[in-house]
Amino acid sequence: MASISLRNVIKRYGHGPKANAVIHGVNAEIRDGEFVVIVGPSGCGKSTLLRMVAGLEEISGGEIAIGARVVNDIEPAERDIAMVFQNYALYPHMTVFENMAYGLKIKKVPEAEIKARVDKAAKILELGALLERTPRQLSGGQRQRVAMGRAIVRKPQVFLFDEPLSNLDAKLRAHTRLEIQKLHRELGVTSLFVTHDQVEAMTLAQRMIVMNGGHMEQIGTPEEVYARPASTFVAGFIGSPPMNLLTGQARGLAFSIGGISVELPEAAPRDGELILGLRPEHLDHWHPQSAGGAGWPFTVEMIEMLGAERLVYGRLGSEMFTLRIDATLSPPVIGSVLMLELSAKHLHWFDPKTTQRVERA
């Protein structure tokens, strides 16, 4: 196993003034044995970054090291990595055993060792009863496990996963996520996993890298990224539904937003224009305006029932706002006004010019 170091990594397509930069100086240290997820929307550069680690894309600037070796100019086959793609890329005429063993046969590994490695990987992935089947006799989830088994038998220093669950249905994706977690606990191999799905990122990652437009917005544990998003992009991308982001004017305990002025539970970190972030799930204290009492006036416009919870959509003044409530509570009436009660510990503040998090002095 080995660590991975990304040192001011840059990727450009083309040359000269017309060069198109898609990765802008990414710096990150992935520890030996760590499972790190790179997450972001389509086109943010996450797969390009992974492919540079694999050696499938040339690096335009900076360094990538696997262990103590800088691998910028080292061929993919010599980097001691194994990659699992969205496309399973299995040989249709070969059995499961033959697909898993093929890379070892090319390297002329002794037959006895090949069998031992394949049998061990098959046991880990619960493929023992399927070794004589061909890919067309397997489900999508089974094929993905064969692809992972083919990577495991190589005993690499690093696993690279490029959106490996995208072709699976929702139920199978959830099951395969559990299998990948179990696999990492058993093998402990340093892993980089790319996905656009924040649920995959939050459930799989020991730490996560949030990418946006070729920039690394934040790196941290899922808990850190959720609890203290570094920017409005992270706040809006991580969390479902996303964080409410409200631009207004702060002055002490007063915050003017969407044509109304509301009272904060504690003063903003500074006066002036700020973006206030509030997660829908952190507003579980509310009461009808007709009952009297203080709070923020929220006009209900639409309600979605999601089983154990409801999403309530409406407005604070002229600003759109989302509230998540327990489905066991009586739902509010569409058109009614609720008074929202806030807790100071759930307020997030961002600079409207830089979009970065604003901390208290």
Counts for the chain of helices (H) and strands (E), in that order = 8, 20
CB 319 within 8 A of CB 297: no
Q: Are residues 216 and 140 in the same domain?
A: yes
Whole-number pLDDT of residue 148: 86
Q: Which of 236, 270, 303 is the last residue of a domain?
A: 236
209: in domain: yes
Mean pLDDT of the region 201-212: 96
pLDDT class for 324, splitting at 50, 70, 90?
very high
Domain boundary among 212, 236, 260: 236
Which amino acid would we find at residue 129?
A
Positive or negative torsion for Cα 261, 265, 271, 276? negative
Is 361 within the bounds of a domain?
no
For a pLDDT cut of 90, what percent of the chain falls above it?
A: 70
CB 158 within 8 A of CB 67: no
Question: 185 with 291, same domain?
Answer: no
With respect to residue 174, please indicate whether it lies within any of the assigned structural domains: yes
Could you report the per-residue pLDDT of 73-86, keeping only the tens digit for each? 999 989 999 988 87
Domain count, the chain: 2
Mean of per-residue pLDDT scores for the chain: 92
Residues 98 and 196 occupy one common structural domain: yes
In the predicted structure, residue 125 carries a pLDDT above the cut 90: no
Rounded Cα distance, 176 and 276, in Å: 37
Q: Are residues 138 and 256 in the same domain?
A: no
Q: Are residues 155 and 99 in the same domain?
A: yes
In a domain, 9, yes or no: no
Amino acid 284: pLDDT: 66
Per DSSP, 325 falls in state: E
Residues 45 and 148 in one domain: yes
Report whether pLDDT(292) > 80.
no
Show the tokens assigned to 304.
């979605």
Cα distance between residue 90 and residue 175, in whole Å: 21
Number of C-beta neighbours around residue 323 at 10 A: 24
pLDDT band, very low/low/confident/very high, at 172 (cuts 50, 70, 90): confident
Whose tokens are 């495991």? That residue is 152
Answer yes or no: do 332 and 298 share one domain. Answer: yes
Give the pLDDT confidence score for residue 16 in this predicted structure: 74
Range of the domain at 247: 241-350
Looking at residues 50-61, what average pLDDT do you find? 95
Residue 300 tokens read as 């209900």
pLDDT of residue 165: 84
Domain boundary among 209, 236, 263: 236
Distance CA 2, CA 214 (A): 25
Considering only 67-81, 144-158, 256-270, 308-322, which range has the smallest mean pLDDT?
Answer: 144-158
> Based on the domain organization, do 136 and 157 belong to the same domain?
yes
With b for 16 or more beta-carbon neighbours within 10 A and e for fewer, the 34-47 pattern comes to bbbbbbbeeebbbb
- Flag whether 284 is in a domain: yes
Q: Is residue 161 part of a domain?
A: yes
Q: Is residue 18 part of a domain?
A: no
> Do both 231 and 308 map to the same domain?
no
Scored b (16 or more CB within 10 A) or e, 175-198 reads ebbebbeebbeebebbbbbbbbbb
Pairwise CA distance, residues 86 & 164, whole Å: 4
* Residue 339, C-beta contacts closer than 8 angstroms, at least 6 positions apart: 286, 287, 288, 289, 291, 293, 294, 295, 296, 297, 298
What CATH number is associated with residue 136?
3.40.50.300
Residue 108 has pLDDT above 70, yes or no: yes
Pair of tokens at residue 22 = 């898609």
- The answer to whether residues 6 and 62 touch, using CB atoms and an 8 Å cutoff, is yes
Which residues, other chains included, contact 166 with Cβ-Cβ below 8 Å and sequence gap of 6+?
86, 195
Query: Which residue type occupies 315?
Result: R
292: left (phi over 0), alpha (psi -120 to 50) or beta: left
Task: Taking residues 341-359, report their average pLDDT.
Answer: 95
Shared domain for 284 and 308, answered yes or no, is: yes
Within its chain, how far is the Cα of 85 from the centroid?
17
Q: Classify the C-alpha dihedral 173-174-176-180 as positive or negative.
A: positive
**pLDDT score of 90 more than 80:** yes
Residue 4 lies in a domain: no
pLDDT of residue 234: 97
Same domain, 136 and 35: yes
Same domain, 202 and 330: no
* Angstrom distance (rounded) from CA 246 to CA 260: 12
Question: How do beta strands 4-13 and 61-66 pair?
Answer: antiparallel
Mean pLDDT of 94-101: 93
- Sorted by sequence, the CB contacts under 8 Å of residue 283 that are 6+ apart come out as 323, 324, 340, 341, 342, 346
How high is the pLDDT of residue 15?
81
Of 177, 126, 188, the residue nearest 1 (C-alpha): 188
